[in-house]
Amino acid sequence: MGVLALQGDTREHLAALRAAGAEATTVRRPAELERVDALVIPGGESTTMSHLLREFELLEPLRARLADGMPAYGSCAGMILLATEIVDAGVPGREAVPLRGIDMTVRRNAFGRQVDSFEEDIDFEGLDGPVHAVFIRAPWVERVGPEVEVLATAAGHPVAVRQGRMLATSFHPEMTGDRRVHAMFVDSI
């Protein structure tokens, strides 16, 4: 299993995956992407990550792997990138680029700016007890396709979704020490 290591909280996801029983490695190049059976796309800055996907020639190979059914989990910026459509994608020429992995429309920075970041306990379908969610310049989901299952909501909007073997959260479970979301992803593979 790989963690996209272009920008963002890679180390925390590697630790969470390993704690959930997965062998995890970083992915920065197309050859590394070819060697993994699943991928985590971490939080970070979605427009910067999109730029780096192009620079490292990973954008089209990653889209192809996702279209072929490679399991993926995206948190925060990773959720944005896994979408089929992004609202407020960024300034022209520096937009966040949808990977089209999950049939959803995501709004970047939906909960507000950095100073509006917050933490909240939320109910999460399929997990025992609430999840402590850390929202940092977080997105939310504005539309889900018919095959998308909403797993959690906050402020009336979906913040965790699953479609087949793809999972996305608008919050950062890797920052809390609660490994249940990562375990759910690992177990789905």
User: Could you say which of 12, 51, 174, 182 is catalytic?
Assistant: 174
Residue 178 has pLDDT above 90, yes or no: yes
Classify the phi-psi angles of 122: left when phi > 0, otherwise alpha if psi is within -120 to 50, otherwise beta. Answer: beta
- The mean per-residue pLDDT over the stretch 5-19 comes to 95
Structural domain for 11, as ranges: 2-187
Structure tokens at 86: 């992004």
Q: What is the pLDDT of residue 56?
A: 96
Q: State the Cα–Cα distance between residues 117 and 111, nearest whole angstrom.
A: 7
Q: Find the helix packing angle between 46-55 and 59-67, rounded to 10°.
A: 100
Structure tokens at 52: 């780096």
**Catalytic status, residue 142:** no
Residue 116 has pLDDT above 90, yes or no: no
**Catalytic status, residue 172:** yes
Binding-site entries for L-glutamine: 44-46, 108, 136-137
What CATH code is carried by the domain that includes residue 92? 3.40.50.880
Q: With CA atoms as reference, report the closest residue to 15 among 185, 182, 188.
A: 182
* DSSP reduced 3-state for 130: coil
**Catalytic status, residue 174:** yes
Q: With CA atoms as reference, report the closest residue to 130 among 84, 100, 171, 94.
A: 171
Per residue in 33-51, pLDDT (tens digit) is: 999 999 999 999 999 999 9
Residue 113 has pLDDT above 90, yes or no: no
Per residue in 90-107, pLDDT (tens digit) is: 888 889 999 999 999 999
Based on the structure, what is the number of domains in the chain?
A: 1
Q: Give the other-Cβ count within 10 Å of 53's Cβ.
A: 22
User: Could you say which of 55, 76, 95, 142 is catalytic?
Assistant: 76
Residue 184 has pLDDT above 90, yes or no: yes
Residue 28 has pLDDT above 90, yes or no: yes
Q: What is the model's pTM?
A: 0.96
Q: What is the pLDDT of residue 156?
A: 95
Q: State the Cα–Cα distance between residues 156 and 158, nearest whole angstrom.
A: 7
Per residue in 54-68, pLDDT (tens digit) is: 999 999 999 999 999
User: Could you say which of 13, 51, 172, 182 is catalytic?
Assistant: 172
Using alpha carbons only, what angle is made at residue 141 by residues 15 and 122, rounded to the nearest 5 degrees?
60
* DSSP reduced 3-state for 137: coil
Binding-site entries: 44-46, 108, 136-137
Q: What is the pLDDT of residue 89?
A: 82
Can you say whether the dihedral through the CA atoms of 99, 100, 102, 103 is positive or negative? positive
Q: Where are the beta strands (DSSP E) in the chain?
A: 2-4, 25-27, 39-41, 72-75, 83-87, 102-107, 118-122, 131-135, 140-144, 149-154, 157-163, 166-169
Residue with tokens 């939310």: 140
Q: State the Cα–Cα distance between residues 58 and 109, nearest whole angstrom.
A: 24
